[in-house]
Amino acid sequence: MTALPAHPPALPGHPHLHYEAGELWLERVPVHRLTERFGTPLFAYSRASMLAALSAYQQAFEGREALICYAMKANSSLAILQTFVEAGCGLDIVSGGELERALRVGVDPAKIIFSGVGKTRAEMRQALLAGIGCFNVESVAELDTLHAVATELGQVAPISLRVNPDVDAKTHPYISTGLKGNKFGIAHTEALDVYRHAAQLSGLKIHGIDCHIGSQITEIPPFLDAMDRILDLVDLLESDGMHLAHIDFGGGLGIDYQGDVPPAANILWSALLNRLDARGHGNKRILIEPGRSLVGNAGICLTEVLFEKSGDTKNFLIVDAAMNDLPRPAMYEAYHAIVPTLLREDATRIYDVVGPVCESGDWLGRDRALAVRPGEQLAVCSAGAYCMSMASQYNTRGRAAEVLVYGENVQLIRERETPSDVMRGERLWSPVTTPGTPSAP
Ligand code: LLP
């Protein structure tokens, strides 16, 4: 370990991850200290990175009436939500469970917006009673149901319609949401009629218009196209006598996973706000719902190399993190950079990095050049968004622990799940069950 490689591996997109004397550090902490204390697999997030990502958005909106609603589906761990809420954000939720998390961290309910195509009546009730700021409604059936639920409660539900602008976000088909063929939103061509219908329902009050065209978008033009389509509609609706207090422009800005070069949030938003001004809507309140771009490059997942295995055609590194911890490669063939936590002078070999789960789809990275030995650790990069929040307990693997790092400060924000945690709530079949009656606990 004397001569270190001349070129340490690239660390895409991570502002607060770096090598110092051959060791990987997150902010002011060498990551081996995290794994010594908390074990692996371990998610570690840089709080400074999260705040820096947020501040790029905040800069863009300075002097405007705007609300950044963090899309908590990206990472809904309580301390992550707390960080954004304490920095002034609202929250974008998609379920009753997310609403409970939001309330747990003390967000002002008026700063909560509720997205999603399939809200249940119970969730609508729960959100109305909590006093959330806006429901983003995605169909006529949902509109009618929400009207009925609000009327039963003697309330008026604040709404906007999520309009599908039919633009191509040029991203992975599973995370593109603004095309005609997607299940999301109300067709652009039907929006006027649906707004007119909503205006007739006494249990609803129209607050705005909403759109979201997809995720991991790395170019500005699809956003501008969507903005134009939405503003065409706003013009049409206003000439029809409708008043829209806000425009919710969704989320979707991408991050650097593998040399991707998305625009910085302030650059994207200065282009969008210019367009808004040019078209005479600069005075409207703006809401946005960013997720990935606020947390994606703040997080890494640390994993230990268990075994090295050489086959005829492939070499494998079997690590202790798996598709249940990091589902994106298996689900979308997504690329996450994988780097050693300790640089060594050995020549690299080409490996597939795979987990212990019994599926061939359980891979984290393919054909990666690495110099690492069993017992050493790897960091899976860009793991702050859509990793822990999508993790499962498949193979009765408890979900990983999470830590938040800020300068030299390290705090455990989620304990590692034990097998008993995973089995909590399960019951054995009882031989004395009476037909038709639930078995005793
Ligand atoms: N608003 C709505 C209505 C959404 O559907 C989404 C994401 C967001 C906001 C936040 O988008 P973001 O800023 O994070 O791109 N699991 C996939 C991503 C699914 C995104 C779904 N919707 C992945 O791992 O790539």
Ligand 1 within 6 A of 382 CB?
A: no
Q: Where are the chain's structural domains?
A: 17-46+297-417, 48-295
- pLDDT tens digits, 150-165: 999 999 999 999 999 8
138 lines ligand 1 (CB under 6 A): no
How far is residue 237's CA from residue 298's CA, in Å, rounded to a whole number?
40
Strand bridging mode 42-46 / 401-406:
parallel
- Residue with the nearest Cα to atom 23 of ligand 1? 386
Cβ neighbours of residue 437 closer than 8 Å, sequence gap 6 or more: none
- The rounded distance, in Å, linking the Cα atoms of 279 and 132 is 30
Q: Is the C-beta atom of 250 inside 6 A of ligand 1?
A: yes
The reply to whether ligand 1 has any atom less than 6 angstroms from the CB of 93 is no
Pocket mutation for ligand 1, best pick of 67, 89, 289 (most atoms within 8 Å of C-beta):
289
User: Would you say the CB of residue 175 lies under 6 angstroms from ligand 1?
Assistant: yes
* Paired tokens of 38: 């908390």
Q: How far apart are CA 118 and CA 138, in angstroms?
A: 8
What ligand 1 atom has the least distance to the C-alpha of 251? 13
Q: Are 54 and 90 in contact (CB under 8 A)?
A: no
Annotated catalytic residue, options 89, 211, 358, 387? 358
Pocket flag, ligand 1, residue 9 (CB < 6 Å): no
Q: Identify the burial level of 170 via C-beta atoms within 10 angstroms of its C-beta, where 0-12 means exposed, 13-18 middle and 19 or more buried.
A: middle
Mean pLDDT of 285-291: 98
- Is residue 397 a contact partner of residue 322, using CB atoms and an 8 Å limit? yes
pLDDT tens digits for range 225-241: 999 999 999 999 999 99
Report pLDDT digits (tens) over 344-361: 999 999 999 999 999 999
Q: Is the CB of 292 under 6 A from ligand 1?
A: yes
Q: How many angstroms is it from 412 CA to the middle of ligand 1?
A: 26
Q: Give backbone dihedrals phi and psi of 144, rounded to 5 degrees, phi first.
A: -65, -40
pLDDT tens digits, 57-112: 999 999 999 999 999 999 999 999 999 999 999 999 999 999 999 999 999 999 99
Active site residue 89: no
Which of the four pLDDT bands, split at 50, 70 and 90, describes residue 438? Answer: low
What atom of ligand 1 comes closest to residue 292's alpha carbon? 14
CA 352–ligand 1 middle distance (angstroms) = 28
- In short, whether 92's Cβ falls inside 6 Å of ligand 1 is yes
The interaxial angle of helices 221-239 and 265-278, nearest 10 deg, is 30
291 CB near ligand 1 (under 6 Å):
yes
- Bridge partners, 287 (sequence order): 67, 248
> 171 in ligand 1 pocket by Cβ < 6 Å?
no
Both structure tokens of 210: 């909403």
Q: What phi, psi does 316 have (nearest 5°)?
A: -120, 145
CB-ligand 1 contact for 336 (6 Å cutoff): no
Give the whole-angstrom CA distance, residue 36 versus residue 313.
Answer: 34
Between 3 and 275, whose confidence is greater? 275
Q: Backbone phi, then psi, for 318, in 5-degree steps?
A: -95, 120
pTM of the model: 0.96
Q: Which atom of ligand 1 is nearest to the CA of 387?
A: 24
- Our mutation pick for probing the ligand 1 site, out of 292, 325, 326, counting the most ligand atoms within 8 A of Cβ, is 292
CB 217 within 8 A of CB 255: no
Q: Assess contact for 374 and 58: CB atoms under 8 A.
A: no
Give residue 433 CA to ligand 1 midpoint distance, Å.
Answer: 45
Fold of 17-46+297-417: Lyase, Ornithine Decarboxylase; Chain A, domain 1 (2.40.37)
Could you tell me which CATH number the domain at 48-295 has? Answer: 3.20.20.10
First to last CA, the chain: 58
Q: What is the per-residue pLDDT across 115-161, written as a single tens digit (0 to 9) for each?
A: 999 999 999 999 999 999 999 999 999 999 999 999 999 999 999 99
pLDDT digits (tens, 9 = 90+) for 386-433: 999 999 999 999 999 999 999 999 999 999 999 999 999 999 999 886
Residue nearest to atom 24 of ligand 1 (CA): 386
Residue 210 alpha carbon to ligand 1 centre in Å:
14
Pick the residue whose CA is nearest to atom 5 on ligand 1: 212
Average pLDDT, rounded, for the chain: 94
- Tell how far the Cα of 290 is from the centroid of ligand 1, in angstroms: 8
| Nearest CA among 370, 251, 393, 239 for reference residue 317 | 370
Dist. CA 293 → ligand 1 center (Å):
10
* Mutate which of 73, 170, 268 for ligand 1 pocket (most atoms within 8 A of beta carbon): 73
Give every CB contact of residue 274 below 8 A, 6+ residues apart in sequence.
none
